[in-house]
Amino acid sequence: MEKTPQALKGKKIILGITGGIAAYKMHAVVRHLKKLGAEIQIIFSPCAEEFVTKLSFSTMSERPVYSEFYSSEDGSWNNHVELGLWADLLLIAPCTANTLAKMAHGMCDNLLLAVYLSAKCPVMIAPAMDLDMYAHPGTQRNLSNLESFGNQIIPVGDGALASGLSGKGRLAEEEVIMEYVNTSLSSKNEFKGKNVLITAGPTHEPLDPVRFIGNRSSGKMGYALADKAAQMGAMVTLISGPTNLVPQHPNIKLINVETAQEMYDVALKNFSSQDLVIAAAAVADYRPKNIASQKIKKNIENGDSMQIELIKNPDILQEMGKRKTDQILVGFALETTQGLKYAKEKLSKKNADVIVLNTLEDEGAGFGTDTNKIYIITEKDQLALPLMPKVHVAQEILTFCHHNFLK
Ligand code: PMT
């Protein structure tokens, strides 16, 4: 007899269904998740019942479907805080433009939104709407806000829409949703009991009270690593330069810094207790020698040019390489040319165990994007990975480190 895989056995999922035509497609997703052993609690937004019935979803999930703060049958309270703490994953699919906007602005006028605001687990959102609504700058801004909260957006599909039009806005296909859910939930606590330190984002090196020298790092790579490491069981210290991001997982201790020197001080202070350190920050190599106490004024006498003297910043990764005892040290290399050559040089110069190379020669890799294409380089290995979302890149890096160094 064929054995049914129980990859999600014991995993608890809250599935939020909102009022969109694609809601019926979630029957197949629920069936699939149940087959893999997951427990599913479904919550409808107030409009969901216009499109699908509670009866069909409660039958499939083997639990009552909630939509109100109070049960109309026995008057009991559907405790949103408890629900938010119960789940290993909150998946909102399909998520309409309306619910998306409310989530992005912290509104709380229904049970699903209250659960969203209370949830401590990873949140995944699969938007579905008409193409013009999806393309509207308001919706796009809401999506980036939600991403900056650490929520994961499952990309919309491109094709026929309920309106008869065709374009971007369809609910992601069942297989895509399943892939995202599986990736998020299949981790096996590989990093339980481990301390992981991650540097993320840019540094800002002040010139005067209003100006700084910075770079284009958004922090997305480092925050994805922090969220993933925490999901895999680690206690994470995330040292971050200025970004708009908010880490999602309760096991992440965030320490905000601004300059390379501050990042150096905090990283080295925390270094000795770590098992794994990943330096994903884009740290300024130089800083202005003098910081003006007042705004630097345009000075006619200086003519059309101005000199700024720069001095070297300490190299955080290199210093950790010198001090390391049994910590595993992973550095990044961001290159624009001859990536492999420079990455290998960094591996030995900084005494790192792994260098993750991302090169701007690869489209979709490096700064700002939601994707990255990396090469994992060690003394013995050189792995080239395809272009993928940064959350998946994070999973690959952490799994590599676990298999090769921490098992
Ligand atoms: O933040 P995102 O928009 O998601 O973009 C991600 C990223 C491109 C910033 C990230 O993937 C990345 O490549 N980070 C390292 C960028 C960098 O500064 O590379 P580098 O080749 O200059 O530095 C090499 C390594 O030394 C890095 O691990 C860096 O963190 C570290 N370093 C560098 C200088 C310094 N003074 N101290 C350091 O620790």
pLDDT digits (tens, 9 = 90+) for 319-363: 999 999 999 999 999 999 999 999 999 999 999 999 999 999 999
CA of 281 to the centre of ligand 1 (A): 5
278 and 148 fall within a common domain: no
Which residue is catalytic, options 145, 182, 215, 251? 215
- Tell me if 332 CB under 6 Å of ligand 1: yes
CATH of the domain at 274: 3.40.50.10300
CA of 236 to the centre of ligand 1 (A): 19
256 and 289 fall within a common domain: yes
Who wins on pLDDT, 45 or 230?
Answer: 45
Question: Is there a domain that residue 7 lies in?
Answer: no
pLDDT tens-digit profile of 105-149? 999 999 999 999 999 888 999 999 999 999 999 999 999 889 878
- Tell me if 347 CB under 6 Å of ligand 1: no
Q: Are strands 328-335 and 276-279 parallel, antiparallel or unpaired?
A: parallel
Token pair 């806005």 is found at: 169
174 and 211 fall within a common domain: no
Question: Is there a domain that residue 3 lies in?
Answer: no
402 and 289 fall within a common domain: yes
List the domain range (segments joined by +) for residue 75.
12-185
348 and 370 fall within a common domain: yes
Which has the closest alpha carbon to 182: 89, 116, 250, 93? Answer: 89
Query: Torsion-angle region of residue 260: left (phi > 0), alpha (psi -120 to 50) or beta?
Result: alpha
Using most ligand atoms within 8 A of CB, pick from 319, 332, 341 the residue to mutate for ligand 1.
332
350 and 277 fall within a common domain: yes
The domain tally of the chain equals 2
pLDDT value of position 78:
72
111 and 226 fall within a common domain: no
* Mean pLDDT of the 18-35 span: 96
CA of 282 to the centre of ligand 1 (A): 4
Q: Whose CA is nearest to atom 35 of ligand 1?
A: 315
200 and 272 fall within a common domain: yes
The last residue of a domain, from among 161, 185, 209:
185
pLDDT value of position 3:
45
The mean pLDDT value of the chain amounts to 92
Band (pLDDT 50/70/90 cuts) for residue 5 is: low
- Tell me if 14 CB under 6 Å of ligand 1: no
| Biggest distance spanned by C-alpha atoms of the chain | 88
Question: Is there a domain that residue 326 lies in?
Answer: yes
Question: Is there a domain that residue 142 lies in?
Answer: yes
Band (pLDDT 50/70/90 cuts) for residue 56 is: very high
pLDDT at 299 over 80: no
Question: Is there a domain that residue 6 lies in?
Answer: no
pLDDT at 311 over 70: yes
Identify the weakest region by mean pLDDT among 75-89, 252-266, 283-297: 75-89
CATH of the domain at 162: 3.40.50.1950
Q: Whose CA is nearest to atom 18 of ligand 1?
A: 282
CB atoms within 10 A of CB 307: 5
pLDDT at 273 over 60: yes
120 and 232 fall within a common domain: no
Task: Supply the pTM of this predicted model.
Answer: 0.72
Question: Is there a domain that residue 382 lies in?
Answer: yes
pLDDT value of position 215:
98
286 and 316 fall within a common domain: yes
54 and 172 fall within a common domain: yes
* Strand order from edge to edge, sheet including 195-200: 252-256, 235-240, 195-200, 276-279, 328-335, 354-359, 375-377, 382-384
215 is an active site residue: yes
Who wins on pLDDT, 4 or 353?
Answer: 353
Question: Is there a domain that residue 1 lies in?
Answer: no
205 and 354 fall within a common domain: yes
- Tell me if 313 CB under 6 Å of ligand 1: yes
pLDDT value of position 73:
67
Identify the weakest region by mean pLDDT among 102-106, 356-360, 365-369: 365-369
Question: Is there a domain that residue 2 lies in?
Answer: no
155 in Cβ contact with 173 (< 8 Å): no
- Tell me if 219 CB under 6 Å of ligand 1: yes
Residue 317 structure tokens: 């990764």
* Mean pLDDT of the 89-94 span: 97
* Mean pLDDT of the 302-326 span: 93
Q: Which atom of ligand 1 lies closest to the CA of 342?
A: 21
CA of 332 to the centre of ligand 1 (A): 5
pLDDT at 34 over 70: yes
